[in-house]
Amino acid sequence: MTVRGRDNGRGELRIERLSSLESVREDWSRLAERTDNIFATWEWNSIWWRHRGGDRALFAYGCRDSTGALVAILPLYVSVNRPLRLVRYIGHGDGDHLAPICGQADRGAAAHALRSALREGGVDLFVAENVPVTDGWGALLGGKTLSTTGGPVLRFQGESWDSVLARTSHNTRGQARRRERKLVREQDAQFRLAGERERLDEDLDTLFALHRARWRGSPTDFGGDGQALHREFAHAAFDRGWLRLWFLEVEGAAVAAWYGFRFGGAESYYQAGRDPAWDRYSVGFVLLVHTMRAALEDGAREYRFLEGDEKYKYRFTDDDPGLETIGIARGALGGSALAVISLAPPLARAGRYVVGMLGS
């Protein structure tokens, strides 16, 4: 399939269906580096697909320019095939920034290619979750915004930690300094960054246990096969220098854990856990503050809180580019389904609720 490129002077693009994710691994990694997005990496997408794809059909495409160079990847799959053909991004539900994988200059061409792929592939409905609002994909794709959520970012501007804290409220500044001092003084608490590969599985077990303790039986990212997915990705991220797994320890035992990634100059906070018995010391807050300070001191450009508009995130920043869920429908069946989704409760839109409603 060939479509005419847009907004970047490339002319026509050749769009090819990918037989596997492995077939474009090297080019994929090159393109992911242009996005500064951990969820655009080949490692994240291939591991997610292995654990979550099941028997569903891959619907991914590569876009090549007139020289044969791969300039964009459309990481898609068929989520539901009957009664309508529903396509989504690989990584949805677990990844926090999802979109075509390409450089900024190629977004227009990638969006045009994606719409062509949906049309040629007989897709009734495309649902794109957690798309960065400021990247402009909604306008480029011409889809309908189904929901929006927060995605706060703390941007470091070559400043000191004290100057970062100075941008917060008087109360937040005081707590950020006082609570850590109290914990260190009274309990001799220490921070530890996971750095030994032979200990990584043990460290991940501790993270999962503290996360379960924090949520006390509620559904979490590490429920079901989530642990297996994140265990494999954590190992891959560790080997590539992306993993950031922090612990707050008292007498050698972890009382809080923080799980995230560093990629392309951005620190991303994915999940955390803590022992409720230590809540009087605000151990989760203390560890969170430490990870921000460590990211700044290591030269990170920004600290991403990822999906969600929880109040604690806005204690440190009011910069929120936002994330949106976009729907594109084709034909009467797709249009009807999109209308139903639009009426669904905001938190259920484009999630498992929708899949169950449409059938599988």
pLDDT value, residue 354: 52
DSSP state of 99: -
Specify burial of residue 11 (Cβ count, 10 A radius: 0-12, 13-18, 19+): exposed
Given CA atoms 289, 167, 297, 182 in this order, what sign does their dihedral have? Answer: negative
pLDDT per residue as tens, the chain (360 positions): 655 554 455 567 899 999 999 999 999 999 999 999 999 999 999 999 999 999 999 999 999 998 999 999 999 999 998 889 999 999 999 999 999 999 999 999 999 999 999 999 999 999 999 999 999 999 999 999 999 999 999 999 889 999 999 999 999 999 999 999 999 999 999 999 999 999 999 999 999 999 999 988 676 778 778 999 999 999 999 999 999 999 999 999 999 999 999 999 999 999 999 999 999 999 999 999 999 999 999 999 999 999 999 999 999 999 999 999 999 999 999 999 999 888 876 545 444 445 454 544
Sign of CA dihedral 334, 44, 290, 179: positive
Distance (Å) of CA 137 to CA 112, 201, 205:
11, 38, 38
Element (H, E) at 52: helix 42-52
Q: How far is CA 91 from CA 25, 43, 106, 274, 291, in A?
A: 16, 11, 21, 26, 25
Both tokens of residue 337? 């389904």
Domains and CATH numbers, the chain: 2-148+322-358 (3.40.630.30), 153-315 (3.40.630.30)
Q: What is the pTM of this model?
A: 0.92
